[in-house]
Amino acid sequence: MDFPQQPGGNMQFNGGNNPPQQQQQHQPQGWQASVTYDERKRLIFILVGVIKNLGAYPHDKMVALAKQYENFIFNSASSKVSWV
């Protein structure tokens, strides 16, 4: 599965549309800062599997939906426990 990378190995969950200075403003704070790239990637793999079981969607669409949903719950969760 292809995951876009930012310098330093962080995933781009915003689609890479923001200039670097805007991306730096959105660095995780609080509990989000303790979540690693691999943890976020693992959750996306799980979400892709769940979406795959729902129906026949193109792989790129499933990955995009999983990334979008993970980003939503990552930004709206109040703690790491509620994120997972």
**Are 66 and 51 spatial neighbours (Cβ–Cβ below 8 Å)?**
yes
Q: What is the pLDDT of residue 7?
A: 36
The answer to whether 1 and 45 are in contact (CB under 8 A) is yes
Structure tokens at 50: 């769940």
pTM above 0.75, yes or no: no
Q: What's the pLDDT band for 26 if we cut at 50, 70, 90?
A: low
pLDDT above 60: residue 69: yes
Task: Give the whole-number percent of the chain exceeding pLDDT 90.
Answer: 43
- Chain Cα centroid distance, residue 9: 13
Longest CA–CA span in the chain (Å) reads 39
d(CA 39, CA 41): 5
